[in-house]
Amino acid sequence: MSGDYLLKRDGVWHFSRRVPFNVADLDRRGIVRQSTRIRVVEDPRGAKARRIADQINADLEAFWLGLLNGRAEEAQKVYDAARKRARGFGFDYMTADAVAARPVSEILARLQTIKGQPQEREELAASALGGGVPVPRLMLSGLFNEFERLSASDIRDLSPDQVRKWRNPKVRAVANLIDVIGDQPISSITRPQALDFREWWQARVADEDLDPDTANKDFGHLNTMFKTVERALRIGLGPVFSEMRIRGANNGQRVAFAPAFVQDRFLADGALDGLNDDARCVLYLIVETGLRLSEACNLTEETIRLSGPAPHVVVKPDGRRMKTDQSAREIPLVGVSLMAAQASPAGFPRYRDKAASLSAIVNKVLRGRGLLPEAGQTLYSLRHTFEDRLTKVEAPEKVTAALMGHKFHRPRYGLGPSLEQKREWLQRIAFKPPSKV
């Protein structure tokens, strides 16, 4: 705790921490001291000073982690180069102990290859074929960086916000594990330590009344990262984080709004005046289209098509990955959604690739105005309401799937429902719009 690093010096609270042993050769200060600039007489219990010390400590640990990661990256580069050279000579790279255990004929062949190199390359050949480069130790603190490097091709089509959502839970899972078992080489992490981590999460779930799925996500991310690193580096990791799931997870189902509630409360004149114009238009757009929030936020002048007999929006990748192959679709605009698109024909650049920010803003306003009356209801519930309304008028399953961006569980023939056919069903469920958006 940062409070342990506070001391009084000349009447002022100071942060003081010894440089950890594992980074002492990279940071030679011995002890790091920094004033919080908070006088003891004004903060006798150190409450204010502790908050400042927390930030100093967090910055310091981030600095140390950067030093360690830099050293680890350099060691990995040297190791990878040795492996590449060994393959170039026709051999697999092995540590010195492993080479010594090979048949005599292979050892002699390696030695002959080394001796056959020009003098200036002999040392490099010896390190590659004789196992002179140690296998780098991948620390738990470097696990995500290595996983991200190995996953570069898998995430190349994600937008910046999608990368953030992909990255953050994995970084958080690693940080949680380090809190429980400490930073150590991942090759030394054992199944009992993983089970200790599971027990830590079980206690949190019980004490803090958390959804078990919060813990299960950590287990899943760690399992994926460990498997990926093992496939690439072959360092002997077993199934450390498999079969860790805690039962009783909430299925996360959001509760739909009653259509009458949407008509009477959401679409009442002035009901959403607390939202800025873009946020209000996005919400209205979702009402009659069932768009996912991220899909609505990323519409542009090119994908909002208001001319022609059937105004509609086009959902397509456009610099980001679609949730499913079926997500690409065209949705006619009717009622309040048509009004919203006409009011914002160029889309919503304020919230482009920022669906999470918009969700937080809208849900806060809706909650404050009593527009989320049931537990589990959020802005996303409008999408569930949209599907319920199609079901109530008995829209064909193929039409509903085409509008929702869901998979239609039958072989696909032809082009699917036309814009005119989809608009016909949307007009059957359209609400009475407010007088203005």
User: DSSP letters of 65-90?
Assistant: HHHHHHHHHHHHHHHHHHHHHHHHTT
Indicate the pairing of strand 329-332 with strand 312-315.
antiparallel
Q: Which one, of 377, 362, 370, lies nearest residue 283 by Cα?
A: 362
- 3-class DSSP assignment, residue 353: coil
Tell me how far apart the alpha carbons of residues 86 and 83 are, in angstroms, rounded to a whole number. 5
Give me the pLDDT at residue 1, please: 46
Amino acid letter, 31: I
Q: Which two tokens stand for residue 111?
A: 């030695």
Tell me how far apart the alpha carbons of residues 404 and 88 are, in angstroms, rounded to a whole number. 53
What does pTM read for this prediction? 0.56
Give me the pLDDT at residue 421, please: 93
Q: Which residues of 169-181 are buried (b: 16+ CB within 10 A; e: fewer)?
A: ebeebbebbeeeb
Indicate the pairing of strand 312-315 with strand 304-305.
antiparallel
Q: Which two tokens stand for residue 251?
A: 């299925």
Give me the pLDDT at residue 303, please: 94
Q: What is the mean pLDDT of each run of 10 residues along the chain (437 residues)?
A: 75 90 78 89 89 83 72 70 86 84 91 88 86 78 90 88 90 90 88 91 76 90 93 80 82 79 94 92 96 92 92 86 79 96 94 86 91 89 94 93 81 72 95 91
Q: In this structure, is the dihedral angle defined by the CA atoms of residues 423, 426, 428 and 434, taken in order, positive or negative?
A: negative
Give me the pLDDT at residue 195, please: 92
Q: Which residues of 65-92 are buried (b: 16+ CB within 10 A; e: fewer)?
A: beebeebbeebbeebeebbebbeebebe
